[in-house]
Amino acid sequence: MSFDYSRYERYSRQILLPGFGVSTQQKLDKAKVLVVGAGGLGCPALQYLASAGVGTIGIIDDDVVSVSNLQRQVLFTEADIGFPKARKAAAVLERMNSGIGINVYNERLTTANALELFENYDVILDGTDNFSTRYLINDACVLLKKPLVFGAVSQFEGQLAVFNGEREGEQPVNYRDLFPDPPKDGEIANCADGGVLGVLPGIIGTMQANEVLKLITGMGEPLINRLLTYNALTNQTYEMILVPGDRSKQEIPVNEEEFRSTDYAAACAADNNGILISASQLAQLIDDKDTIIIDVREKGELPLLAIPHQQLPLSTLQTETPVFNGKTWVFLCQTGRRSLQAINYFSAMEGNRKMYSVDGGIIAWEKFNNKKEHDKAHS
């Protein structure tokens, strides 16, 4: 593929850079980058990859735009709500730069499609929002020896790293060298539960695009075998050196066949048998005198819980160990994740009690009550 010199003007500000030139622009033109997840990280990354002139960009996402995405997923507008993210993001990028190719995969990344898909790309950018897909991406990239630009955010902090990159005198490192086993569902809060400052994935996603551009062009020092953390509240950054661990080799599928038969969702599924109760089961427990209901959300979180309960923000558990009366403790939070964390914590404590977590949290509880009201009004 030869570089179309009529497009020189478009990229003139980067071609002018010392050490860049037309030859580096040609490298970008030939490059193929796959962005997994068109969300808070994917949107800003896609913007800069497209505007920099990455010749082929793949977008894989099976989700649709929802109103709570708009606070940080900057490629979408109110008119996009309910439409597929991958298609809507691609439409914006096509208007932005008609000189590049965009491949849309409006589907979920699975062990059945990941290897074939990744093989068509030079660099993979992880912009997903869950651990099972993150481990799937990591393992596929290790098997295919593909550079992976990793980014993740939580509340006010972000992480950035380049895995499987080539760095002289070092063994390639991957995410399992940091965390060999995936955390279980509910163990770590996600954006829906813990919240996220909108600009943070904007920053981390843009940094991911920067790492991709460095990998393609050979300029600068990509964050290979390093992990950078960034705190949006303090502007503190912390960079650590990663080293290969023994455990990661045992946990990664040995070949493509084993990868295809690995159940990544199951690896993250928590064993919550006998712990989860539904909103309707909670309704039955409200009047039970031996039951205490404990809201573990932080102060000020809405909606308020309109049934008798105790408040115990999860953050306070780090410093105190409260004991409640009652034989049955029912924990509640916004979505049902933090309440599982609370149980995790109390289960290490001595004493004879039953503990439950309300599946789906207060969101499920509100839905249950709204439906009850609705049914009552129409009966």
Determine, following the binding rule CB under 8 A, whether residue 202 of this chain makes contact with other proteins.
no
Nearest Cα to Cα of residue 339 among 308, 368, 379, 310: 310
Q: Please identify every residue annotated as catalytic.
A: 191, 333
Task: Identify which of residues 178 and 276 has a Cβ nearer to other proteins in the complex.
Answer: 178
Determine, following the binding rule CB under 8 A, whether residue 272 of this chain makes contact with other proteins.
no
Task: Identify which of residues 125 and 279 has a Cβ nearer to other proteins in the complex.
Answer: 125
Task: Identify which of residues 28 and 209 has a Cβ nearer to other proteins in the complex.
Answer: 209
For 139-175, the DSSP string reads HHHHHHT--EEEEEEEBTEEEEEEES---TTS----G
User: Mask: binding to other proteins, 99-118, rule CB under 8 A, as x and -?
Assistant: --------------------
CA–CA dist 20, 148 (Å, integer)? 23
Determine, following the binding rule CB under 8 A, whether residue 123 of this chain makes contact with other proteins.
no
Nearest Cα to Cα of residue 88 among 64, 57, 52, 53: 64
Footprint of other proteins on residues 67-96 (CB under 8 A)?
none
Task: Identify which of residues 37 and 147 has a Cβ nearer to other proteins in the complex.
Answer: 37
Question: Which residue in 49, 54, 196, 223 binds other proteins (CB under 8 A)?
Answer: 196
DSSP 32: E
Closest approach, Cβ 158 to other proteins, in A, equals 7
Footprint of other proteins on residues 161-190 (CB under 8 A)?
177-179, 183, 187-188, 190
Exposure of 167 by Cβ count < 10 A (0-12 exposed, 13-18 middle, 19+ buried)?
A: middle
Determine, following the binding rule CB under 8 A, whether residue 323 of this chain makes contact with other proteins.
no
Determine, following the binding rule CB under 8 A, whether residue 41 of this chain makes contact with other proteins.
yes
Determine, following the binding rule CB under 8 A, whether residue 159 of this chain makes contact with other proteins.
yes
Tell me which stretch binds other proteins (CB under 8 A): 11-19, 91-99, 147-155, 253-261: 147-155
CA–CA dist 4, 109 (Å, integer)? 34
Determine, following the binding rule CB under 8 A, whether residue 61 of this chain makes contact with other proteins.
no
Question: Which residue in 113, 154, 206, 369 binds other proteins (CB under 8 A)?
Answer: 154
Question: Which residue in 34, 123, 152, 364 binds other proteins (CB under 8 A)?
Answer: 152
Contact 298, 338 (CB under 8 A): no
Nearest Cα to Cα of residue 50 among 203, 188, 209, 242: 209
Task: Identify which of residues 44 and 53 has a Cβ nearer to other proteins in the complex.
Answer: 44
- Locate all alpha helices (DSSP H) within the chain, ordered by sequence: 12-15, 21-30, 42-52, 85-96, 114-119, 131-144, 191-194, 199-217, 246-251, 256-260, 264-268, 279-285, 338-346, 361-377
Give bridge partners of residue 238 from the DSSP assignment: 229
Determine, following the binding rule CB under 8 A, whether residue 242 of this chain makes contact with other proteins.
yes
Determine, following the binding rule CB under 8 A, whether residue 229 of this chain makes contact with other proteins.
yes
Task: Identify which of residues 19 and 169 has a Cβ nearer to other proteins in the complex.
Answer: 169
Question: Which residue in 17, 112, 166, 238 binds other proteins (CB under 8 A)?
Answer: 238
Nearest Cα to Cα of residue 74 among 45, 46, 99, 44: 44
Closest approach, Cβ 221 to other proteins, in A, equals 16
- Locate all alpha helices (DSSP H) within 158-307, ordered by sequence: 191-194, 199-217, 246-251, 256-260, 264-268, 279-285
Task: Identify which of residues 6 and 318 has a Cβ nearer to other proteins in the complex.
Answer: 318
In angstroms, what CA-CA distances link 363 with 155, 279, 356, 371? Answer: 20, 10, 17, 12
Contact 100, 53 (CB under 8 A): yes
Query: Could you tell me the two tokens for 343?
Result: 């149980």
Per rule CB under 8 A, count of chain residues that contact other proteins = 49
Task: Identify which of residues 20 and 345 has a Cβ nearer to other proteins in the complex.
Answer: 345
Question: Which residue in 25, 29, 42, 329 binds other proteins (CB under 8 A)?
Answer: 42
Tell me which stretch binds other proteins (CB under 8 A): 21-29, 103-111, 240-248, 276-284: 240-248
**What residue ranges bind other proteins (CB under 8 A)?**
37, 39-42, 126-131, 134, 151-154, 157-159, 177-179, 183, 187-188, 190-191, 194, 196, 201, 227, 229, 238-243, 245-246, 314, 317-319, 321, 341, 344-345, 348
